Structure 1
Amino acid sequence: MDAVKRFIRNEIVLCVAFVLAVISAFVIHPDKSYFAYIDYRTLSILLALMITMAGLQRLHVFRQIGELLVAKMSSIRGVTLILIALCFFSAMFITNDVALLTFVPFSIVTLSISGRKDLYIIVIVLETIAANLGSMLTPLGNPQNLYLYSIAGMSLGAFIKLMLPYSVVALAMLVIATVIRVKSAPVVLTEKSVYERKSRDKKLIAMYVFTFLVSILVVARVLDYRIGLLIVALLAFIFDRRVLRKPDYSLLFTFIFLFIFIGNIKRIPELSGALSQLVKVNEVGVSIGLSQVISNVPAAILCSGFTDQIDKLIIGTNLGGLGTLIASMASLISFKQYSYIDGSDSKKYMIVFTAFNIIFLAVMCALYLLM
């Protein structure tokens, strides 16, 4: 019983999606149309990317890059700027989840050996915002971008052009916030990890760089998604089978259950009509609002079923990742990492997190209204 409660607590979005899919199935009984609900392209790309990122993360590639950059800084402000920049820029390519899983623990260690534990909260909060806002620039950055980009049929260049103004302003705000909140002081980082890579590890890194390039070709619609997934899965199965246990399969099932729920709702005229009218009133506003209570991935899937203004949903669900702790599920990763620290103050963390998220969200919304 405890295991069930723990599973529900850890996978609440998956459980809600499952319940919604089951309830909708009592109204629209399962038939052949169910197979047409699912966006297999998005799921294939997502799985290929998760396998690739899990492999590179297990080999400590991202952390090693972070250590090399941080070691070049001589002030705590410089170190902090690098840590936040790592989350912002890496999230564009390795997803916001992986960026936070990699660099938040690394930041905790770095600040600890620097004797600046007082900066834990502000740095982790800004890293979380950086990962969520950095990830919005590319389809690879987060799951909802990958899904919306897939169904929008837009080019990679058009997607980046759409989100570029928000990314530029977000980066400027992060730099300003860091300069204001972190006073410059000298710092010496004496501890350093030693990475002695065997020949096999070097070959695996090369393999995962290749599978990442394959994933980009699929995203850019140069390579068929079925071929891309087959290449990635086969290489991983043959040369690094353990990594196949690492991907977040619960996220894939969350997508599937939500696809079923939305597909069934669209076949109920009364509900479909009402939701369509609601979403079309203001796609950006509705998707931001929904993200605050159900997170931006489910909000993207839900809203996409009732409007063809996908570009507005891309903006809305990306901006909607700001706000509450569950607006972006990636935010929970950094909160959990902080909560593991001895002497952590969850109440203070939530106050700082909410205050900064509201400020960033307000500026992003103002930018949207001005454009």
Structure 2
Amino acid sequence: MLTTAFSTVFKPFLRDRFLHLLVLLGVILTLFQTEKIMQFPQFVDWDTIITLLGLLMLTKGVEVSGYFDFVGRRMINAIDNERRLALFLVTAAAVLSTFMTNDVALFIVIPLTITLKKLTSLPVTRLIIFEALAVNAGSLLTPIGNPQNILLWNKSGQSFLHFIGQMAPLALVTLLALLIVTGFCFPSRSLKKTANNEGYPFQKRLLASCGVLYVVFIACVDLGLALYGLLAVILCFLLLARKVLLRIDWPLILVFIVMFIDVRLIVGLDVLQPVFARIHGLPDYGHYLLSIGLSQVISNVPATILMINYLPSGPLLAYAVNAGGFGLAMGSLANLIALRMANDKTIWLKFHFYSFPFLLFSGVAGWFLLPLIS
């Protein structure tokens, strides 16, 4: 039993090439800033880590309860057309991300999508890519759709509705383009259902417990008591379903921890300080391109934190960092979550085939839309 548990938890760390790459990058960067080693714990946003871990546990709990299998079977019976089902799930991901944040939307939509892989011939890997793009497109609309918007909204002093009005043109154009491309990429044909009875048996007690725990955990996060909420979640799963804790994507948690450290080390490089000092003197298009470019390298949330020291928290910065969520997987933490949850090594290359055109489209569209809202 202990051997099986050890293998389930620790073997994924040995196979995680992305994690190994981040650790190697961190080691190289540390060689130039050895005095910062003791500051590593301060570089990590532990509230984000705790929230992510709690959501991972709760999502896995719902999956183990068999609810996704139950809903998936109902869904394919109601929507038996591949294109309509893809459009429904992509739209659902975008809508959920506007008020639940992009990562929470993924925790709802992607496990359900993965369940459909066992039940139909649906190209699930491609669909997960489009869902990742959808939460980036949908979340940019509202002040609470993603972390960078929360920061920009708080700094701008705008009303909730004014912020939405500012972001609506880019959100609508990007989402419309995504839905059009989705329609082309998923043919209008009947789903081939598989006689697959694999999956978890439906455990209503576990599902109900996860529902209650979700409410408790979110309330704790809102009250600044996320750690206590996480402890409550862990304790309940120890009593109800220990296998949930074993099947968490633990390497993903370490990926985020190492990412926080790597980003702070990159920003702290002495060689980059003269570059940052010149940001003020750049023209608007330079600010726009730099914000998008930084989002590709260090992710759009850290890019926002950096650029807000040099630019107003207005439409230009908001459009740039949100468009920057497309492109490289590193552009948005939601991308990394989606690709990791897919558990398919081939998805990383395929994601960029679709994501880079959307980076180009949203970046150009955003630039030409800016004069309309200024």
Q: Cα 1:160–1:238, aligned 2, differ >3 Å: closer, same or farther?
A: farther
Q: Cα 1:295–1:11, aligned 2, differ >3 Å: closer, same or farther?
A: farther
Deviation at 1:99, TM superposition (A): 4.7
Structure 1 residues 48-57 or 185-194, which shifts more?
A: 185-194
Q: Does 1:235 align with 2:235?
A: no
Match of 1:137 among 135, 141, 146: 141
SS of 2:331 mapped into structure 1: coil
Partner of residue 74, structure 1: 80
C-alpha contact 1:76 1:184 (8 A) present in aligned 2: yes
C-alpha contact 1:59 1:205 (8 A) present in aligned 2: no
SS of 1:367 mapped into structure 2: helix
Partner of residue 9, structure 2: none
Partner of residue 168, structure 1: 172
Give the Cα separation in 2 of the matches to 1:264 and 1:357. Answer: 27
Q: Cα 1:64–1:51, aligned 2, differ >3 Å: closer, same or farther?
A: farther
C-alpha contact 2:217 2:226 (8 A) present in aligned 1: no
Q: Cα 1:347–1:170, aligned 2, differ >3 Å: closer, same or farther?
A: closer
Deviation per CA, 1:133-173, whole angstroms, max 9, x where unpaired?
22333455444445555666666555544433333333322
C-alpha contact 2:325 2:331 (8 A) present in aligned 1: yes
Give the Cα separation in 2 of the matches to 1:261 and 1:73. Answer: 47
Partner of residue 49, structure 1: 51
Q: Cα 1:81–1:162, aligned 2, differ >3 Å: closer, same or farther?
A: same
Give the Cα separation in 1 of the matches to 2:161 and 2:42. Answer: 26
Q: 5+ residue gaps in structure 2?
A: 1-11
Partner of residue 300, structure 2: 296
Give the Cα separation in 1 of the matches to 2:160 and 2:47. Answer: 15
Deviation per CA, 1:211-242, whole angstroms, max 9, x where unpaired?
22444xx3xxxx4x3xx335424433543467
Partner of residue 210, structure 1: 216
Partner of residue 88, structure 1: 94
Q: Cα 1:4–1:196, aligned 2, differ >3 Å: closer, same or farther?
A: closer
Deviation at 1:303, TM superposition (A): 2.0
C-alpha contact 1:129 1:357 (8 A) present in aligned 2: no
Amino acid at match of 1:354: F
Give the Cα separation in 2 of the matches to 1:143 and 1:108. Answer: 26
Deviation at 1:57, TM superposition (A): 0.6
Aligned length, in residue pairs = 348
SS of 1:183 mapped into structure 2: coil
Give the Cα separation in 2 of the matches to 1:359 and 1:271. Answer: 27
Match of 1:319 among 316, 323, 327: 323
Match of 2:189 among 185, 208, 223: 185
Deviation at 1:206, TM superposition (A): 0.9
Amino acid at match of 1:229: A
Partner of residue 366, structure 1: 368
Provide the identity percentage.
24
C-alpha contact 1:293 1:327 (8 A) present in aligned 2: yes
SS of 1:248 mapped into structure 2: helix
C-alpha contact 2:170 2:365 (8 A) present in aligned 1: no
Deviation at 1:288, TM superposition (A): 0.9
Deviation per CA, 1:228-286, whole angstroms, max 9, x where unpaired?
33542443354346769757254245436645765797xx9856532444597744332
Amino acid at match of 1:55: M
SS of 1:322 mapped into structure 2: coil
Partner of residue 114, structure 1: 120
C-alpha contact 1:262 1:305 (8 A) present in aligned 2: no
Partner of residue 58, structure 1: 60
Q: 5+ residue gaps in structure 1?
A: none
RMSD, aligned α-carbons: 4.7
Structure 1 residues 160-169 or 99-108, which shifts more?
A: 99-108
Give the Cα separation in 1 of the matches to 2:93 and 2:102. Answer: 8
C-alpha contact 2:299 2:325 (8 A) present in aligned 1: yes
Deviation at 1:106, TM superposition (A): 4.7
Partner of residue 251, structure 1: 256
Deviation at 1:319, TM superposition (A): 0.8
Deviation at 1:320, TM superposition (A): 0.6
Q: Structure 2 matches for 1:342-361, cutoff 5 A? A: 350-361=352-363
Give the Cα separation in 1 of the matches to 2:354 and 2:276. Answer: 39
Give the Cα separation in 1 of the matches to 2:70 and 2:369. Answer: 33
C-alpha contact 1:280 1:307 (8 A) present in aligned 2: no
Q: Does 1:286 align with 2:286?
A: no
C-alpha contact 1:75 1:185 (8 A) present in aligned 2: yes
Amino acid at match of 2:85: V
